[in-house]
Structure 1
């Protein structure tokens, strides 16, 4: 296996990590299917069928699990546990936020890496990050008024010429080697996304100049390419990128990546599918919707000469709800408590920007909104999700181009969705093909 990989990534797949895990996991999954394949794990209701397959248990997901009460676990670790044990840029565990490379290692291998292993992965990603000239030319030619997410998707699709998986498949590689070639593509996608994203940001909002600093880690170098050189912002980006990586497989961007990948489309094309899903207002655009709602609230009451406090926030919230609109940033398809991703961002704000005006508005919203939504009675989860906080943190550091925020999400989500895609190929998971039914068929079942 290792002889087919680039020299720089052999450490990642050495005997005690992926190379040893793949056959054992293949054997375990095969036994599970053979011995217990007819075991019933749930029933599907008509409401679930019509309502987007909500909560239907029908997908295997290696890398993370989302519990309705406690939130996300990355390979069994909660966010606070990840912050406590994963390597940081300072090299002192728990001093600062985990490096994105550390969570990539964790999601791929299920093992907590050492700082040495993380640094080797940083070097590997930097080595893979050179964009083909045709991609640079294409991205630089895109109109500035094209949505940044559209540009990101175009740029990544153009990188598909670099796919090792597509080349190996065309050359007749055996199925048992698919995951090897997929890993090469996965690391390439993760490596090139920051520069594509930075080119878009600098082209649309500034001078088009992108400056790298590969002496830094993945997140720090990304910040320099965006044009930011504040170490505190580097830490925010490490936190932001880590907590947005994965949220089990049912969310739209992860599921779309998995679905497209199940056709044996290469990881470039598969993750482009995920990015298209992420671009939707009900998914990745949500954080900009939150920020807009907060600013509309603030502008309304400042214009009326009123303070922004619990009373005026309550008034604005009821205006929104009575207009048959949702409160952006509150509620979640799975969670039934405050999103731990919200909590860790709140803790970051308390540490780095406790007096920030917008943060204090968000904190006040947090103190009153759950009771408002409980009284309203039409929201399953009245607590804040990740999007309720992320935009305000970015705004504090002068990153005010909120139409771009989803691109940051897109850079991050590649790590989770593509780590799972590796295991899709390693475990030989099949083409995803659920059975659809007509409304008439559903009526016939009811009448029976």
Structure 2
């Protein structure tokens, strides 16, 4: 996939060895890279606080106070930034730029989707890794992926009608017995070493999540058998554990897991992970809390709502003998809006344009499944829905978000258990939330404790 690269990205590309050349030195590990960065970042943040701590960067309105702190600038987040106009940037790189420079399964940047391990490296270090560095990280994650002996029996004992996300948080919480951070804290290690033990937990949490997730999927919907293939990368092995053996589906998993990793710090799952982590709860407990936030209908369940809406649309017009066209979709959209319901998959709390994560999935569909029936419906919805929502006039952003497309891609490959889709999201979001949690501990960020106010206090401010 060809993309135009910014000057900064081109400079990064030049630092990556050409595939096939032998490095003249040993490969720098993730831990070594971070150890070199931590002192400088600590120094920079301390200087920022000392020299400019009183500098005002915004103000809070009563609307923001009552309305969930929307757009209030009050959280430090290293790993990504969400711009209303251009969308997400991972350590300064857009999704197309990441696709152009991050190592892929073939080893050639731009030839296929980025490996999740390469994005993990980028989010943790702010550096584009070489394929050799990514391979060492893949091997390390595989080496950390063994679940504690009590976890699989626990998952097997859970009722099949328990929601997959509930099972997912139970499984991760059960792994907390292995927390090196919790053990080190109990032994009184100095604060300056917290990040070292946090990283140990973070890498292990990311490593064990696929088997927890796959065990739930196979238990609830199939025979409970989970097969692995550690000759593959993280995403490819996860696909095998789910029961899929299709290189095209492997590529979908790489794309899906990468684009869902991080969306700056204000979203509920990332913020919850950060908040719980600020109490010095270990990464297992912190991310389990983030998963519970992700399970909320207004956060991680949105993609299944989109798929249900599309299937209702399709069923309605098939029953009436009508073709699915721009006109009939427009009719169904107005029926939905007039019933005081929302159009799922459209609008976003921050974005004011088409979500780049949607665009990347649309490009994947055009490449891998251009004739898929549901994709054609989604594509037609994309052509007409912004106009409908603009005419309706009550939506700040009439453009599609990431959830508008992901369910349709999964459905194409026979992954039809949409109640499980949020678990996939949960495997991915760990990479972003936990990468930031590393820097929370490395930079010594304090317990998060905003000041709350009463309605009476707000009225008193207005009267003043």
Tell me the TM-score normalised to structure 1 length: 0.97
Alpha-carbon offset, residue 377 of structure 1: 0.7
Structure-2 residue corresponding to 1:6: none
The residue aligned with 1:363 is 379
Does structure 1 residue 309 correspond to structure 2 residue 325?
yes
In structure 1, the residue matched to 2:30 is: 12
The answer to whether structure 1 residue 277 and structure 2 residue 293 are counterparts is yes
Assess if the C-alpha contact under 8 Å between 2:28 and 2:133 holds in 1. no
Matched, 1:320 2:336: yes
Q: What is the DSSP-based 3-state SS (H/G/I as helix, E as strand, rest coil) of the residue aligned with 2:88?
A: strand
Structure 1 residue 10: Cα displacement? 7.8
Quote the Cα distance in structure 2 between the aligned partners of 1:100 and 1:11: 16
From 322, 340, 351, the equivalent of 1:335 is 351
Residue in 2 that maps onto 1:34? 50
Is 1:115 equivalent to 2:131 in the alignment?
Answer: yes
Q: 3-state SS of the aligned residue for 1:72?
A: strand
1:262 to 259, 278, 288: 278
Q: Distance in 2 between matches of 1:259 and 1:377?
A: 36
Equivalent residue for 2:205? 189
- Aligned pair 1:390/2:409, yes or no? no
Q: Which residue of 2 aligns with 1:56?
A: 72
Q: Distance in 1 between matches of 2:98 and 2:184?
A: 36
Query: C-alpha distance in 1, partners of 2:392/2:297?
Result: 23
Misfit runs of 4+, over 4 Å:
none
Provide Cα deviations, 1:221-275, integer angstroms capped at 9, x if missing partner: 0000000000000000000000000000000000000000000000000000100
Q: Is the 8 A contact 2:180 2:201 kept in 1?
A: yes
What is the CA-CA distance between 1:347 and the residue it aligns to?
Answer: 0.2
The count of aligned residue pairs is 438
Find the counterpart in structure 2 of residue 4 from structure 1. none
Shift of 1:11: 1.4
- Could you tell me which runs of 5 or more consecutive residues in structure 2 were left unpaired when the two chains were aligned: 1-26
Q: Could you tell me how far apart the structure 1 residues matched to 2:309 and 2:49 are?
A: 48
SS in structure 1 at match of 2:31: coil
| Cα offsets for 1:174-229 (capped at 9, x unmatched) | 00000000000000000000000000000000000000000000000000000000
Could you tell me which residue of structure 1 aligns to residue 216 of structure 2? Answer: 200
Give the Cα separation in 2 of the matches to 1:270 and 1:238: 25
TM-score, with length taken from structure 2:
0.94
Tell me the CA shift for residue 21 of structure 1. Answer: 1.0
| Residue equivalent to 1:70 | 86
SS of alignment partner, residue 129 of structure 1: coil
